[in-house]
Amino acid sequence: MTHRDKAGTVCNLKIVTLLVALSPELLFLGAGVQLRDNGYDGLLVAINPQVSEDQNLIPNIKEMITEASFYLFNATKRRVFFRNIKILIPATWKANHYSQVKQESYEKANVIVTDWYGAHGGDPYTLQYRGCGKEGKHIYFTSEFLLNDDLTAGYGSRGRVFVHEWAHLRWGVFDEYNNEKPFYINGQNQIKVTRCSSDIVGMFVCEKGPCPEENCIISQLFQEGCMFIYNSTQNTTSSIMFMQSLSSVVEFCNSSTHNQEAPNLQNQMCNLRSTWDVISDSSDFNHSFPMNGTALPPPPTFSLVQAGDKVVCLVLDVSSNMAEADRFLRQQQAAEFYLMQIVEIHTFVGIVSYNSKGEIRTQLHQINNDDDRKLLVSYLPAMVSSEAETSICSGLKRGFEVAEKLNGRAYGSVMILVTSGIDEHISDCLLTVFRSGSTIHTIALGSSADNNLEELSHLTGGLKFFVPDKSNSNSMIDAFSRISSGTGDVLQQCIQLESVGENVEPHHQLKNTVTVDNSVGNDTAFLVTWQTSGPPEMVLSDPNGRKYFTRNFIINQALRTARLWIPGTAKPGLWTYVLNNTHHSRQALKVTVTSRASRSAQPPATVDAFVEKDSTSFPHPVMIYANVRKGFYPVLNATVTATIEPETEDPVTLKLFDDGAGADVIKNDGIYSRYFFSFAVNGRYSLKVHVNHSPSISTLGHSLPGSHAMYVPGYITNGNIQMHAPRKSLGRSEEEQKGGFRRVSSGGSFSVRGVPAGPHPDVYPPCKVIDLEAVKVEEEVTLSWTAPGEDFDRGQANSYEIRMSKSLQNIRDDFNNAILVNTSKLNPQQAGTKEIFTFSPKLFTNEPEQQPDGETQESHRIYVAIRTIDKNSLKSAVSNIAQASLFIPPNSAPVVAKDYLILNGVLTAMGLIGIICLTIVVTHYVLNKKKRADSKENGTKLL
C-alpha cells in the first residue's frame, strides 16, 4: 500500500467518525431530502427568476404542500409526511425579510416553479430518467397551475397532484393511464379502458352525448370526437397514480387492486408490479414504521430564503505539484477565461492561493465592466511555490474570510477549489466547510489529487471535476465553463458552443466549424490556447465571409491565450476557424467558444450532462445522461456524444441515445443515455458531452409519455356530462421548432475502483429489453424491440430466448417454464437496431393453459417476453411483457365490419326490392293472363 493509499484510508476513517459522532447535522449533508422519524426534511422548492412576483404564489405553494402532507400520510398508511420545506425566492423579487441562502440553489431544487411551458403544456410533471424504483430529477409546476383555481376541476386539488408527482420523484413509479393507448382487449376478449384500478367506471361520450362503444372504437382505434368520461362519484379508493383528482381515490394500487393487463408505463417499467409494491420496497419504507395512535402529524414548517449578492472566490493551488504537466499554466488559462467571459455581471469575486498556508491575493471586487474583469486577472498567481505541501483547509479558510467581508457571513457564496495535491488533514475542516454556508466546486488536477477532495463537494452540494494530465485535454476550461451562478436564469448564463483540443504537427492546422444559432449570439467569445511561446496563426470567418485574423485577437503571451470577443450579437450560422501551428514542434492547440442568449423571450438550447452515481466498483457500469432542452421542451433527434477521459489511457467516445431502450428509460423525452463500462484503470474519469443538431430536422418534442398529472376533460355527475374548460394551447413559432445548434458541457467526474490489472473474463451480459411490443396481424403475432448488445448495449448478442404464455402470472413468475418459441432463424442484429420477428401462436393456443391456482380458464390473449444471450452464455434480465389479443371481440366485430355491413344492408334491401318488383310483375302477368282466359271463355258461351 502506497503512502497515498494509507493517507486516504486514514482520512476516510476520520470522515466516517465525524459523520457518525461529531455532529448530527452532518448526517444529512449533501444528500437532499432525508426521511427522519417519518418526516421528510430538506425539501427545496425553487421559483424560476422569469416568474413574475405574485403575492398569492407563496401562500398557494404552502397550502399545496400542507394538504399533500396529510394526504400522503394517509395514502402511505401513516408512514411518511413533510416536516420542513424551504422555498427559494428569486433574487429578482423584492427583498421581504427573507432568510439568506446557504447552500441552496436553483439547480439543487426538488420542485421547480416556472413560467416556461414544456412538452406537457401546463401539466405538472416529473423528469424521470432512471428505471422503476429509482428517484427522478425534478418536479415542475407552472405558475398558472399554482395560481389559477379553475384548473383544479381537471387536475384535482393541488395537494393531491403534488403527491402524484412526489411518487414519481421519490419512489420511481410511473403513470397508470396511457393517452397513446386509451383502451385494450383483456383476456376475456372484452374491450377495456386503460385504467387502475379497473373498478373505476364511466361511459363513452361522442360529440353529441353518450354513445355505445361501437360508435367510438373502429378497427381497434378511438374514433375522433370520442372519449371515455368517468363518473365523478366512485366506490374504489385507488389509484393515486391514475386519477388523483377523484374524491374517492386515497390510495395507491396494491397487488389486489392493480390492473396488470393495462398497457401503461407502470406495468411496462415495473414488471407488472403495483405502485404500492414498488413504494413498499423503497429505502424510505425499509427504514420506517407506521406511526402509532390516530393523531395526524404536525403541518409542515416553511422557511423562505433568497439569494443575495453573487459571491465567488477562486481558491487556487500554487504548490510545487502544480509545476507538473502544465497544470499551473492550464489553471491560469481557465481562471483568466472564467473571469473575462464566464462569471456573470455584478458578481463579487475574490482570489486566494495556497500551498501549506493560504494567502488572500485580492478581496472581493464587483464585476461591472471589462476593466473590473482585467483587474481581477491581474491578481491571479503568477508562479508556483517551492513547497510541495498542500493545505486545502488553509486555502478554504482564507476563501471564507474573503466571502465574509461582504455581509459578515459566507452564506450563499461559491468556492472554486483547484488542487493537485494531498491533504491528510482535509477531514479537520469538514464541519467548518458545512457551517460556512458556502458551496464548494472541486477541480482535481492529475492523478495525485487528494482522494477525499470530492467529499467537500458532496457536503455542500457542489460540482466535481477532474482534469487529466494530457496536453490536448480541454477539461480545465470545460470545468470552469460549467460553473454558473446557480440562479436558474439561463438567459444570463454562459452557453458553451465549442470545446476542442488536438495535438497539431508543425505546419499543420486545426480547422473546424461551429454553429452560432439564433437563440444565442450575445457576448460571444472565441478562446485559443497553446503550449509553447508564440500563438498559432489564427483565421476566423463569420457566416457572411468576414474574416478575423491573429491581429484581431487579444493575446496574453504570459498565459498563452488569445481571445476574440464579437461585439453586439454574433451572426447566426456557421463560423469557421483555422489554427496553423507555425512552431517547429508539435503542440496542443485548443479552442473554446461561448455565448449568451440573444433574446429574453426565447430560452436557448442547453445540455445538462451527469452520471447516475459519483463512483462505482468494477464490473458495475456507469449510467451517463445528457438532458437536452430548449426551456422545458425536450430536443429530439440530436446527435449526442460523450467523451470520457481516464487519469491515464486514451479518452473513450460514446454515442448517447434517446430511443427508450437499454439505459434510456423513456423514448423522446430529451434525455440521452448510455451504459459506460470500458474501464481501463482505477481512479477518476472526466465526462464531457457534445450535442449537434441539424437545422433540417424537427427539434422540439410535442408530447411525452408518462410522468405527468392527467388533466381530466370532464365528469359524469348524476347522469349529466359536465365538461371542463379545455386547456389553452401554447403554440410555438416555426423558428423555435427548427434550427441547428451545437452545445458542449462538462458532466463532472466519477471514480472507479476494483478494475483488474490485466485482461479479465467477460462479465457483462446483454442489457434488458424494455420496449418489447406485440401486434397480432391475421393469424400471426409480430414482435418488435430494440436489439441489446453482446455487452449491455454494445456489440452484437448471440441469440434470443422468446417465451409465451396465456397466463400473465406464469410468464412473469416462471419465465423458464413458459412455452418456448422457435427462434432458430432469428439472429440478433447490432445493438440499437430495430428487431422484428413474426410467429404463429396457434399451435400453442388450442388448449386452455393451467393457471397458478390449478384452475383452467380460457384466455384470448398471449403474453410474450424475451431474454438475450451472449456468446459466453451470459443472459440478460427478462424483458417487459408484451401482450396481444388472439381474437377480435364479439362486440367489436360489427364495428370492424361496419362498412361491409352497410354495403351488405344496401345490397339486401336492393334484393328485396327486386324480389318485390318481380313478384308484382309476375302477379300482374298471371292476373292479366287469367283475365284474358276468362274473357275468351265467356265469349264462347255467348256464341
List C-alpha distances in Å: 462 to 105, 413, 414, 423, 433. 10, 11, 9, 19, 12
CB hemisphere CA count around 732 (13 angstroms): 22
Query: How far apart, in Å, do the first and last CA atoms of the chain sit?
Result: 146
The partner residues of 655 in beta bridges, in order of sequence, read 641
The catalytic position among 165, 498, 502, 835 is 165
List C-alpha distances in Å: 826 to 661, 765, 822, 868. 20, 19, 9, 12
- 791 secondary structure, DSSP code: B
Q: How far is CA 22 from the centre of its chain?
A: 37
- 272 secondary structure, DSSP code: T
Backbone angles phi, psi at 798, to 5 degrees: -95, -40
Q: In this structure, are strands 191-193 and 414-419 parallel, antiparallel, or unpaired?
A: unpaired
Angle between the N-to-C axes of helices 57-75 and 158-171, in degrees from 0 to 180, rounded to the nearest 10:
60
Please check whether residue 640 is in contact with residue 625, taking contact to mean a CB–CB distance below 8 angstroms. no
Please check whether residue 304 is in contact with residue 89, taking contact to mean a CB–CB distance below 8 angstroms. yes
CB hemisphere CA count around 866 (13 angstroms): 27
Torsion of CA 924, 926, 928, 932, to 10 degrees: 180
Cell representation of residue 151 = 384548473
Q: Is 349 exposed, middle or buried (0-12, 13-18, 19+ CB in 10 A)?
A: buried
**Other CB atoms within 10 A of residue 813 CB:** 12
Beta strands in 791-943 (DSSP E): 799-805, 819-820, 834-839, 861-869, 882-885
Torsion of CA 799, 640, 480, 632, to 10 degrees: -110
Instruction: Tell me, yes or no, if 165 is annotated catalytic.
Output: yes
Element (H, E) at 229: strand 227-231
Please check whether residue 641 is in contact with residue 675, taking contact to mean a CB–CB distance below 8 angstroms. no
**Angle CA(336)–CA(340)–CA(344) in degrees, nearest 5?**
125
Please check whether residue 487 is in contact with residue 46, taking contact to mean a CB–CB distance below 8 angstroms. no
Element (H, E) at 563: strand 561-569
Strand, coil or helix: 617: strand
Q: How many angstroms separate the CA atoms of 771 and 794, rounded?
A: 17
* Catalytic residue numbers, as ranges: 165
